């Protein structure tokens, strides 16, 4: 076979390969080119983050507005400091509240933002002051069990 | 009496020595290929020519089998997931199983039987018809001229074929899950995108296939170069290529998976 035809076919072959890799990274792994100027960082401090992970979604009214960029423990007050990278097309008021929610009963955890009423917006690097921690199912069951036991004990006291 | 006792032991010893000797030979052969690759990478059209035979001609089988594997994954995955009420996770199931395991492994197995066996037969026949000896007489190093271009062509083709296999599988899963069963197209892709990580899943899968490409082509060219120069020898070498490649791919897959994930 002539060399030019072989070159053409191998060129097509490599192009198909590159297109496949591009498809896998863009469409399947959803690699969106994120530049630093298109998002800004806010942070929030929580008592307990439960099972929240880095890259977990940040949602406002159920709409994806950003991702958790890093999580660290504040060495001074022992609260979890969660950095949120927010898409720069959205801005939130100063009294925005953040809570850690779970998608479904066993789904992944995400940060939900609820817009407040303050006319001033949070600036990049700002702190979301109002936070509520993750609902830890074990703690909830534990609380339920203790209150149940106490209720039972109170009943026993009354009977004699 | 003593002889009947000793002869099985002697056979066992011979077999072990033979196996270790072959392992040593294949390692030396690998080093020889690497040392002689400079020339073939300079004359890159040799590699391109071999990429045509091992890569381009494997396209059809990779596309068709990728499509069918994806379709089967879609069907089987759906019937299992729907019992747990999470049929929406089908996209993630199809993509993760293809990217992490099935894509690289099945593409490598197909590559071994489609291109590896052809490589062994070609080199073995060149040896049987004394073409390799003729090259040596003309001061052309057969490892540099015949073996190294095939090796690099295989190593370069394998990740491309595996990536294509993954894409076709995901499309096959889409065809069954969304077009045939009627799942929501949006949740197919979004579940996939939420669960697939570029580095952990996509890149590691391609690194796997690069290793498989090296293993398969090394075995193929070695078996060809080592074949007994007769018709029966070449056919035995071709069989050995396919069998050994399949075993090595599966064993290597376990080792790589243990390291990567």
pLDDT in tens, A109-142: 888 999 888 888 888 888 888 888 877 778 888 8
* A31 or A49, greater pLDDT: A49
Determine contact: B52 vs chain A, CB below 8 A. yes
- The shortest C-alpha distance from A23 to chain B (Å) reads 7
Answer whether residue A34 shows pLDDT above 70. no
What mean pLDDT do residues B136-165 have?
Answer: 93
Determine contact: A15 vs chain B, CB below 8 A. no
Answer whether residue A73 shows pLDDT above 70. yes
Q: Is A142 exposed, middle or buried (0-12, 13-18, 19+ CB in 10 A)?
A: exposed
Nearest to A29 among B55, B159, B202 (CB): B202
pLDDT confidence of residue A49:
86
Answer whether residue A160 shows pLDDT above 60. no
The candidate with the shortest Cα–Cα distance to A1, out of B48, B95, B172, is: B48
* DSSP code per residue over B39-104: HHHHSHHHHHHHHHHHTGGGHHHHHHHHHHHHHHHHHHHHHHHGGGT-GGGHHHHHHHHIIIIIHH
Determine contact: A146 vs chain B, CB below 8 A. no
CB contact under 8 A, A17 and B163: yes
Query: Residue B78 corresponds to which tokens in the numbers above?
Result: 């759906």
Distance CA(A22)–CA(B124), nearest Å, equals 38
CB contact under 8 A, B166 and A24: yes
Assess contact for B255 and B212: CB atoms under 8 A: no
Determine contact: B193 vs chain A, CB below 8 A. yes
Determine contact: B169 vs chain A, CB below 8 A. no
Query: Residue A69 corresponds to which tokens in the numbers above?
Result: 């960029």
ipTM of the complex: 0.85
The model's confidence at residue A9, banded by pLDDT at 50, 70 and 90, is very high
Distance CA(B185)–CA(B206), nearest Å, equals 26
**Strand intervals (E) in chain A:** 39-46, 57-60, 63-73, 80-87, 97-102, 109-114, 127-128, 130-132
Answer whether residue A35 shows pLDDT above 50. no
Query: Residue B167 corresponds to which tokens in the numbers above?
Result: 């894409």
Mean pLDDT (chain A, rounded): 84
CA B151 to chain centre: 12
pLDDT confidence of residue B210:
95
- The shortest C-alpha distance from A50 to chain B (Å) reads 20
CA B133 to chain centre: 29
The model's confidence at residue A151, banded by pLDDT at 50, 70 and 90, is confident
Assess contact for A20 and B167: CB atoms under 8 A: yes
Answer whether residue B26 shows pLDDT above 90. yes
Task: Count CB-CB contacts under 10 A for residue A132.
Answer: 15
Distance from the first to the final alpha carbon of chain B: 55
Mean pLDDT (chain B, rounded): 92
Most confident option among A13-17, A96-100, A136-140, B81-85: A13-17
pLDDT confidence of residue B195:
84
Residues of A in contact with B157 (CB under 8 A): 13
Residues of A in contact with B99 (CB under 8 A): 24, 28
* A65 or B171, greater pLDDT: B171
A-B interface: how many C-beta pairs under 8 angstroms? 68
Distance CA(A39)–CA(A126), nearest Å, equals 13
What mean pLDDT do residues B26-45 have?
Answer: 90
pLDDT confidence of residue A159:
59
Which residues, 6 or more positions from A103, have their beta carbon under 8 angstroms from its beta carbon? A109, A110
The model's confidence at residue B3, banded by pLDDT at 50, 70 and 90, is confident
Lowest mean pLDDT among A30-34, A66-70, B26-30: A30-34
| Angle at alpha carbon of residue B161, lines to B160 and B165, rounded to 5° | 120
Question: In chain B, pLDDT over 70 holds for what percent of residues?
Answer: 100
CA A5 to chain centre: 52
Question: In chain B, pLDDT over 90 holds for what percent of residues?
Answer: 75
CA B16 to chain centre: 26
* Distance (Å) of CA A154 to CA A143, A145, A149, A150, A157: 16, 14, 9, 6, 5
pLDDT confidence of residue B62:
95
pLDDT confidence of residue A62:
84
């Amino acid at each position: 076979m002539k060399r030019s035809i072989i070159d053409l076919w191998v060129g097509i072959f490599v192009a198909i390969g590159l297109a496949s890799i591009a498809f896998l990274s863009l469409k399947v792994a959803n690699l969106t080119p994120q530049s630093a100027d298109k998002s800004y960082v806010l942070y929030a401090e929580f008592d307990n983050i439960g099972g929240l992970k880095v890259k977990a979604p940040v949602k406002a009214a159920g709409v994806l507005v950003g991702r958790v960029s890093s999580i660290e423990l504040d060495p001074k007050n022992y609260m979890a400091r969660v950095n949120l990278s927010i898409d720069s097309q959205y801005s939130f008021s100063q009294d925005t509240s953040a809570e850690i929610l779970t998608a479904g009963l066993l789904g992944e955890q995400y940060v939900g933002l609820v817009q407040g009423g303050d006319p001033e917006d949070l600036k990049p690097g700002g702190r979301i002051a109002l936070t509520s921690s993750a609902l830890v199912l074990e703690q909830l069951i534990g609380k339920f069990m203790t209150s149940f036991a106490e209720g039972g004990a109170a009943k026993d006291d009354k009977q004699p | 009496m003593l002889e009947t006792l000793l002869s099985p032991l002697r056979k066992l010893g011979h077999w072990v020595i033979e196996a270790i000797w072959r392992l040593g030979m294949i390692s030396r052969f690998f080093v020889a290929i690497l040392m002689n690759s400079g020339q073939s990478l300079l004359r890159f059209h040799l590699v391109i020519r071999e990429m045509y035979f091992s890569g381009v001609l494997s396209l059809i089988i990779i596309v068709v089998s990728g499509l069918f594997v994806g379709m089967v994954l879609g069907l089987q995955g759906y019937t299992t997931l729907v019992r747990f009420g999470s049929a929406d996770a089908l996209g993630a199931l199809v993509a993760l199983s293809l990217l992490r395991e099935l894509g690289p492994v099945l593409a490598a197995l197909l590559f071994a039987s489609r291109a590896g066996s052809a490589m062994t037969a070609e080199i073995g026949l060149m040896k049987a018809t004394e073409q390799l000896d003729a090259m040596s007489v003309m001061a052309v190093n057969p490892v540099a001229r015949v073996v190294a271009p095939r090796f690099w062509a295989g190593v370069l083709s394998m990740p491309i074929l595996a990536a294509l296999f993954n894409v076709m599988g995901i499309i096959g899963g889409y065809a069954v899950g969304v077009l045939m069963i009627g799942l929501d197209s949006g949740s197919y892709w979004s579940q996939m995108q939420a669960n697939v990580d570029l580095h952990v899943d996509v890149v590691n899968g391609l690194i796997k296939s690069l290793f498989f490409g090296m293993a398969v082509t090394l075995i193929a060219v070695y078996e060809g170069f080592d074949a007994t120069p007769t018709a029966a020898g070449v056919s035995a070498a071709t069989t050995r290529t396919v069998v050994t490649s399949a075993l090595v791919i599966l064993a290597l897959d376990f080792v790589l998976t243990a390291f990567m994930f």
